[in-house]
């Protein structure tokens, strides 16, 4: 492709913002997503996304639903426009369908929005997802939600983020009251108060009434005690807080904080505007050729998620590709870095909520879905022009383990083939006992659903009925330095050693406490919760 494309690419990159929401179930991710789409004009009435959530909550129906519809229901990217920006919201599966895909999605994101319930503060799933963002130095924007309900003190929440996540905070706005007495937020940059008007559930975009701090009308509009409290706390903030530093935000070291109430729409648009102004646009990515800017003229991208259709009659698989550089065009032919083969990218899909539309072109920061007849694996690079490869997507620490047994020896070959393919596809990690007598593979997953998917697909695609034998471990750590380092530390208690698919030692612990014990006893032992893909 030629240089003439440059202005078009620059323009496309400048208006693109891509992000994923990280949160714990029930913090309000679906609600916030819906409200963002409402402002983006992608939906006209709240409720459209929610019905999808209600369906998803019933996990037992999940496979049945996949079968009935013949399409994947876990949508992957929601694209909408606002204020001249083209926004890609990468959907991270939550709830019971929490799996490695949730982590992998963050490999395709340029920014993260950390959504926190004001009454609960930081919760386990948010912390785990934060660790992945931290590893990638993603800019993190924090939305503290549910201010219309009683919650924890705002300053205490900021302190928790600083202390526990090691992130500097900068409150972009600050709440006035909470729960029944929630009266609005003070926007520090605009130096004005946005008044909260209680409306029922906010199915339409919210009204936004603003008034300057110091305006005499505020005496009547706000409860006096809250007004004084606001002034006092703003003074504290000015004194103790860091200055806003966009470079630190972009480096993932400082998080801008926004307060609001997604359910009533309050603070959502204020957040969206500020986010768009400060978020990172698609940036250079590290590759075997060095850092490649998004305006590099040839099309390149990588696979971050594969999704298999559970319907045996429509056994298609979709590969989700993050466009990194150049322009994607329907039916283009690309090279596949891992196999060296040439692949025609036909039938591309743009994914929006429940439907799939066909897609003609895409730019850096966008995600495309391609039908994948077994060509792609997680982390694969595709490119035009000069050969290059992006860094693979790492293995994330699994938390659930079970031997997968094949009770029928005549199915040995199919069993082996199925396991190998599902592993390559990234449906689950596979580990093995170091004991030569125990040949059954150990499935290692971050969510229960991954086990169910493996058993279902082993039966339906490979014709093998399998049995699970759960193991009571919940923490896995890769040993830095491999077998040699492990031998040096000598005998370890309260842990077992297994090997991953690349024959690297992995220690399994029953709980975090045992892990800490081993670490305390062996200060030289370095253990990692995330490992690069092996080769």
Binding residue ranges = 23-30, 91-95, 145-148
Using CB under 6 A as the binding rule, whether residue 309 contacts ligand G4P is answered as no
Q: How far is CA 287 from CA 63, 101, 311, 458, 535, in A?
A: 37, 22, 36, 35, 16
Q: Is the dihedral of CA 240, 243, 247, 250 positive or negative?
A: positive
Return the DSSP state at 266.
Answer: B
Of the candidates 12, 20, 27, 449, which one interacts with ligand G4P according to CB under 6 A?
A: 27
User: Is the CB of 157 or the CB of 308 nearer to ligand G4P?
Assistant: 157
Residue 229: both structure tokens together: 């409290």
- 173 contacts ligand G4P (rule: CB under 6 A): no
Number of residues that bind ligand G4P (CB under 6 A): 17
Question: For residues 103 and 383, which CB has a smaller minimum distance to ligand G4P in the complex?
Answer: 103
Q: Which positions from 251 through 280 interact with ligand G4P, judged by CB under 6 A?
A: 261-263
- Position among 16, 17, 29, 477 found at the interface with ligand G4P (CB under 6 A): 29
For the bound state, the minimum distance from the C-beta of residue 152 to ligand G4P, rounded and expressed in Å, comes to: 14
The only residue of 14, 26, 203, 485 in contact with ligand G4P, by rule CB under 6 A: 26
CB 311 within 8 A of CB 345: no
Tokens 């550089």 — which residue? Answer: 325
DSSP string, 185-244: EEETTTTEEEEP---STT-SPPP-EEEETT-TTHHHHS-HHHHHHHHHHHHHHHHHSPPP
Which lies closer to ligand G4P via its Cβ, residue 173 or residue 335? 173
CB atoms within 10 A of CB 435: 10
23 scored as a contact of ligand G4P (CB under 6 A): yes
Report in angstroms how near the CB of residue 76 gets to ligand G4P at its nearest.
Answer: 16
Rounded least distance, CB 292 to ligand G4P, Å: 35
Beta strands at 209-212 and 496-500: parallel, antiparallel or unpaired: unpaired
Q: E strands, 40-179, where?
A: 77-82, 85-90, 111-117, 140-145, 168-171, 173-176
As a whole number of angstroms, the distance between CA 505 and CA 481 comes to: 9
Write down the least CB distance from residue 30 to ligand G4P, Å. 3
Secondary structure element (H or E) that encloses residue 185, with its range: strand 184-187
Where helices occur in 405-481 by DSSP H, the ranges are 412-425, 448-462
Nearest to 354 by CA among 60, 157, 151, 66: 66
Q: Which is nearer to ligand G4P, 13 or 36 (CB)?
A: 36
Q: Does 25 bind ligand G4P (CB under 6 A)?
A: yes
Binders of ligand G4P among residues 30 to 89 (CB under 6 A) are: 30-31, 53
Work out which of 91, 97, 148, 233 binds ligand G4P, going by CB under 6 A.
148
In angstroms, the CA 424 to CA 431 distance is 13
**Of 31 and 295, CB closest to ligand G4P:** 31
Q: What is the DSSP letter of 477?
A: E
Stretches 100-108, 142-150, 408-416, 418-426: which one binds ligand G4P (CB under 6 A)? 142-150
| Residue reference for tokens 């004991």 | 435
Rounded Cα distance, 98 and 74, in Å:
11
- Helix extents (H) in 281-425: 412-425
CB of 161 to ligand G4P, least distance (A): 18
Is residue 388 a contact point for ligand G4P (CB under 6 A)? no
Q: Mask: binding to ligand G4P, 98-137, rule CB under 6 A, as x and -?
A: ----------------------------------------
List binding-site positions for GTP.
23-30, 91-95, 145-148
Options 16, 18, 28, 252; binder of ligand G4P; rule CB under 6 A = 28
- With 0-12 / 13-18 / 19 or more C-beta atoms within 10 angstroms meaning exposed / middle / buried, residue 436 is exposed
Whole-number minimum distance, CB 262 to ligand G4P, in Å? 4
The smaller minimum CB distance to ligand G4P, of residues 265 and 429, is found at 265
Q: How far apart are CA 185 and CA 45, in angstroms?
A: 25
Which positions lie near ligand G4P, rule CB under 6 A? Answer: 23, 25-31, 53, 94, 145-146, 148-149, 261-263
């Amino acid at each position: 492709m030629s240089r003439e494309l440059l202005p078009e690419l620059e323009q496309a990159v400048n208006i693109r913002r891509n992000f994923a929401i990280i949160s714990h179930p029930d913090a309000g991710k679906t609600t916030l997503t819906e409200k963002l789409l409402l402002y983006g004009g992608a939906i006209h009435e709240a409720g459209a996304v929610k019905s999808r959530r209600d369906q998803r909550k019933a996990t037992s129906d999940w496979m049945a639903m996949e079968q009935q519809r013949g399409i994947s229901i876990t949508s992957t990217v929601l694209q909408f426009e606002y204020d001249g920006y083209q926004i890609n919201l990468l959907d991270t599966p939550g709830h019971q369908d929490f799996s490695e895909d949730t982590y992998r999605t963050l490999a395709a994101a340029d920014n993260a929005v950390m959504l926190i319930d004001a009454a609960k503060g930081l919760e386990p799933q948010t912390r785990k997802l934060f660790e992945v963002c931290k590893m990638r130095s993603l800019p993190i924007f924090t939305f503290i939600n549910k201010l219309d309900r009683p919650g924890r003190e705002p300053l205490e929440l900021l302190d928790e983020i600083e202390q526990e996540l090691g992130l500097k905070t900068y409150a972009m706005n600050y709440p006035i009251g909470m729960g029944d007495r929630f009266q609005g937020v003070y926007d520090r940059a605009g130096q004005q108060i946005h008044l909260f008007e209680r409306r029922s559930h906010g199915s339409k975009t919210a009204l936004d009434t603003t008034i300057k701090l110091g305006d005499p009308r505020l005496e009547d509009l706000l409860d006096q005690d809250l007004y004084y409290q606001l002034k006092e706390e703003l003074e504290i903030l000015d004194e103790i807080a860091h200055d806003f530093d966009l470079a630190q935000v972009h480096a993932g070291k400082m998080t801008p904080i926004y307060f609001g109430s997604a359910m009533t729409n309050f603070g959502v648009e204020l957040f969206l505007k500020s986010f768009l102004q400060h978020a990172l646009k698609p940036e250079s990515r590290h590759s075997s050729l060095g850092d490649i800017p998004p305006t590099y003229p040839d099309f390149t991208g990588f696979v971050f998620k594969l999704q298999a259709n559970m319907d045996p009659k429509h056994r298609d698989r979709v590969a989700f590709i993050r466009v990194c550089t150049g322009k994607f065009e329907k039916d283009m032919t690309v090279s596949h870095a891992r196999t060296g083969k040439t692949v025609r990218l036909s039938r591309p899909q743009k994914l929006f909520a429940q439907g799939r539309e066909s897609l003609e072109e895409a730019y850096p920061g966008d995600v495309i879905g391609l039908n994948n007849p077994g060509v792609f694996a997680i982390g694969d690079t595709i490119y035009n022009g000069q050969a290059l490869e992006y860094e693979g997507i790492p293995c994330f620490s699994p938390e659930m383990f079970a031997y997968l047994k094949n009770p029928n020896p005549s199915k040995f070959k199919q069993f082996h083939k199925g396991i190998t393919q599902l592993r390559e596809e990234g449906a689950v990690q596979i580990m093995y006992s170091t004991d030569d007598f125990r040949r059954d593979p150990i499935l290692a997953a971050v969510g229960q659903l991954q086990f169910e998917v493996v058993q279902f697909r082993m039966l339906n695609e490979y014709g093998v009925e399998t049995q699970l034998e759960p193991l009571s471990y919940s923490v896995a750590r890769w040993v830095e330095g491999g077998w040699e380092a492990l031998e040096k530390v000598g005998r370890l208690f309260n842990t077992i050693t297994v090997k991953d698919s690349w024959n690297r030692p992995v220690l399994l612990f029953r709980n975090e406490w045992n892990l800490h014990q081993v670490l305390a006893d062996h200060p030289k032992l370095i253990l990692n919760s995330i490992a690069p893909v092996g080769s």
